[in-house]
Amino acid sequence: MLVHVADVLDANELAHCRERLAHAEWKDGKRTAGYQSAQVKNNGQLAENDPLAIELGALILDALSRNTTFFAAALPHTIYPPLFNRYTGGEHFGMHIDNAIRYDRRQQPALPVRTDLSATLFFAEPDEYDGGELVIEDTYGSHRVKLPAGHLILYPGSSLHKVTPVTHGARVASFFWLQSLVRSDAQRRQLFELDVAIQSLTARVPDAPELVSLTGVYHNLLRAWSDV
């Protein structure tokens, strides 16, 4: 399931992040790639322990905690601290699949995070760079994603994906992974669709008697399917 989460950051948060990232110290992105991914990865990245990455990562996590669409789609259990990358001058990331487990070494001992979902939060507007589409392959075909600044795409961590070469300008984004309360993508999709339907019915008919029953079905499915 691919989910477009709009306006994760408000205008002030987005402007702050863009200004701070304009003066970032970018390192070779291969440093954080697995063996196979490193063969096709060509970009710049902030070091995980860079104070700027830690500062802006905390800002993003705070914004996500307030976003109902993100929470409904992801059902987050553990979020790997957000990372930051930049593509410019023809840089790209060839087709690859993310590691199944990432270790958050900011925790001691290092905390393993199962990468059920991957996320990319865009900081550059689409007309500020050429190329740089996130291409995601799934059973329904190939999806090309290039979202407005402040918007996020959420997709299964098991998906093959790539970033096409940036031939003009700079593509700046945050990316991270998360372990969901519900491991199965199919089950998360059903819960998300049910949650959206309940929210829509609540907005249209706040006193609908079916709401209690539907909400009960949602929570009983979550109880049955969750890992905790």
pLDDT bucket at 228, cuts 50 / 70 / 90: confident
Is residue 34 scored above 70 in pLDDT?
A: no
pLDDT confidence band for 37 (50 / 70 / 90): low
C-alpha to C-alpha distances, 63 to 70, 152, 153, nearest whole angstrom: 10, 12, 15
How far apart are alpha carbons 43 and 171 in whole angstroms?
10
Q: How confident is the model at residue 92 (pLDDT cuts 50, 70, 90)?
A: very high
Q: Residue 62 to residues 13, 86, 164, 219: CA-CA distances in angstroms?
A: 11, 22, 30, 25
- What's the CA angle centered on 22, arms 67 and 174, to 5 degrees? 35
Would you state the pLDDT for residue 18? 98
Give 65's pLDDT tier (boundaries 50, 70, 90). Answer: very high
What pLDDT shows up at residue 41? 86
Model's pTM, two decimal places? Answer: 0.93
Q: What is the pLDDT of residues 135-191, one digit of tens each?
A: 999 888 999 999 999 999 999 999 999 999 999 999 999 999 999 999 999 999 999
In the predicted model, what is the mean pLDDT of residues 68-72? 97
Domains of the chain: 3-180 (2.60.120.620), 185-225 (4.10.860.20)
Has residue 30 got a pLDDT over 80?
Answer: no
| Burial bucket for residue 133 (CB in 10 Å: 0-12, 13-18, 19+) | middle
pLDDT of 29:
78
